[in-house]
Structures are given as structure tokens and as C-alpha cells.
């Protein structure tokens, strides 16, 4: 079936380095993608989104890249900080119907001192 | 704190008991979602409401699961005759749909443990 998934379940980076978290999706009809951050004991928190008519969007220290040709999404975090340690999920939405909101399994980011 | 609250934060129950969880969304939000999240996995969509109307419930895990949003504000999720496999985090999210944007704000979740 159609799904959203992640290449790497865990990622460890040195504080100050850049992080790249990847996500693959298989539903070419998806038109909206979101990256969420989830800290232990909390619900997912919106980080950044991107529409299918874009290939790049930048926020504060974060950049999302969308490659529709290979159905790949990535989240780049610049100058990773200890507070960035969390599980990161990508989610795809199709047609803005709630039931078409699909999360991937998540990547745990650990920031080493 | 996103403004979405859930109660209780933790619930321990014995197999076969019924449990009910409450979600209070951000007040002006018209959509409310319920998800289940198991350890190491992303949230799994269960159901959602637009105002009082439950627009999708086919993803509820079984007929033991039901949800209500009687006045279009808070919502409850009930699990009847709980089973050990129901142990999970139950997340609620709300959003204000504007055009084609649907940014969901999540609550802290209710962690259910079925003994």
C-alpha cells in the first residue's frame, strides 16, 4: 500500500554540525508535507511544511527539500543543538482530507556534546 | 504548550474495563483529530471531526472504539472492553482549516496501559 517511511531510524550528530533527516513517500498524489518534532512525553510539534509545487522551503535553522521525481523529502537542521534531540516524523497529506494524513515511523536524532 | 489539552495524561486499567479520554482543542479550531501512537512509530490516524460532524471513522481500530464531539468543542474517545493491545499513547490534535492549509496542533497525549 501507499506509505510514508524513513531511511534511517536513528541519527547521531555532533553539536554544531548540520543534520539531515530523510523520508521517502510513495503516494505521488500527496500535495502537502509536514515535518514534526516529538520530544519525550510530548505530542508532535510542527516544524515546517512544504507544498508539492515547491522544491525547497526554509525556516529558522531548518530547510525542507522535496524531490518529487524520486518521492523523497528531507529535513536539514543547521548548527544542531542539544535541544534538537527528539524523534522527527514526516507526514504527507493528500487532498486536505483528514484521513489522508499519514505519518512515517520516525527518526531519532541524538545530539552529542 | 500548544493549547490543546488532554485528560488524563496517564491511565492504567485492567483488561475488560472501559476507558474514556477527553480532548480540549484550541477554542477556534474547527477540526479535531484522534491518533494512536505505539512506541517507535508515528501517529496512526483514527478519526476526525469537522465541528460536530465525524467525517471519517472507518479507521477506528474496532467497534470497541468510539468518539464524540457533541457540541463541536471538546471530544471524547472511548474504548470498551479494553485489551492489552490497546496499550498506547492516544493523541488529539486540532486545526483551523483555512483554504488548503491544515496545520495540526497536538496535545500531550494520554498514555494508556492495559494490564
pLDDT band at B72 (very low <50, low <70, confident <90, very high): confident
Put simply, the answer to whether A106 touches B59 (Cβ < 8 Å) is no
CB A111 within 8 A of CB A11: no
Mutate to test the interface with B, among A53, A99, A106 (most CBs of B within 10 A): A99
pLDDT band at A1 (very low <50, low <70, confident <90, very high): very low
Put simply, the answer to whether B41 touches A44 (Cβ < 8 Å) is no
Residue B104 in contact with partner chain A when CB distance is under 8 A? yes
Helix, strand, or coil (residue A3): coil
Is A31's pLDDT higher than 50? yes
Question: Rounded mean pLDDT of chain A?
Answer: 87
The pLDDT of residue A102 is 84
The CA distances from residue B26 to A61, B94, B104, in Å, are 27, 7, 10
Which of B47, B49, B39 shows the shortest CA–CA distance to B89? B39
CA distance linking residue B35 with residue B44, whole number of Å? 5
Selecting from B42, B103, B108 the residue whose C-beta is nearest the C-beta of A105 gives B42
Higher-confidence residue of A4 and B43: namely B43
The pLDDT of residue A27 is 82
Which of A13, A26, A51, A56 shows the shortest CA–CA distance to B101? A51
pLDDT, tens only, A38-78:
998 889 998 999 999 999 999 999 999 999 999 999 999 99
Amino acid at each position: 500500500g501507499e506509505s510514508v517511511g524513513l531511511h534511517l531510524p536513528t541519527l547521531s550528530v555532533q553539536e554544531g554540525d548540520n543534520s539531515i533527516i530523510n523520508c521517502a513517500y510513495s503516494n505521488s498524489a500527496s500535495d502537502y508535507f509536514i515535518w514534526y518534532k516529538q520530544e519525550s512525553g510530548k505530542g508532535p510539534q510542527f516544524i515546517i511544511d512544504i507544498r508539492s509545487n515547491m522544491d525547497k522551503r526554509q525556516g529558522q535553522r531548518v530547510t525542507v527539500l522535496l524531490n518529487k521525481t524520486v518521492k523523497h523529502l528531507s529535513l536539514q537542521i543547521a548548527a544542531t543543538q542539544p535541544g534538537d534531540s527528539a524523534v522527527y516524523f514526516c507526514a504527507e497529506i493528500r487532498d486536505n482530507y483528514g484521513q489522508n494524513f499519514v505519518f512515517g515511523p520516525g527518526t531519532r536524532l541524538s545530539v552529542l556534546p | 504548550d500548544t493549547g490543546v489539552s488532554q485528560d488524563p495524561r496517564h491511565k492504567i486499567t485492567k483488561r475488560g474495563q472501559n476507558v474514556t479520554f477527553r480532548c480540549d482543542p484550541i477554542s477556534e479550531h474547527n477540526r479535531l483529530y484522534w491518533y494512536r501512537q505505539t512506541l517507535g512509530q508515528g501517529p496512526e490516524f483514527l478519526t476526525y471531526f469537522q465541528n460536530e460532524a465525524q467525517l471519517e471513522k472507518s479507521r477506528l481500530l474496532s467497534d470497541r472504539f468510539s468518539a464524540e464531539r457533541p457540541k463541536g468543542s471538546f471530544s471524547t474517545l472511548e474504548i470498551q472492553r479494553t485489551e492489552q493491545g490497546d496499550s498506547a499513547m492516544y493523541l488529539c490534535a486540532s486545526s483551523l482549516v483555512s483554504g488548503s492549509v491544515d496545520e495540526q496542533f497536538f496535545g500531550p497525549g494520554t498514555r494508556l496501559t492495559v494490564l
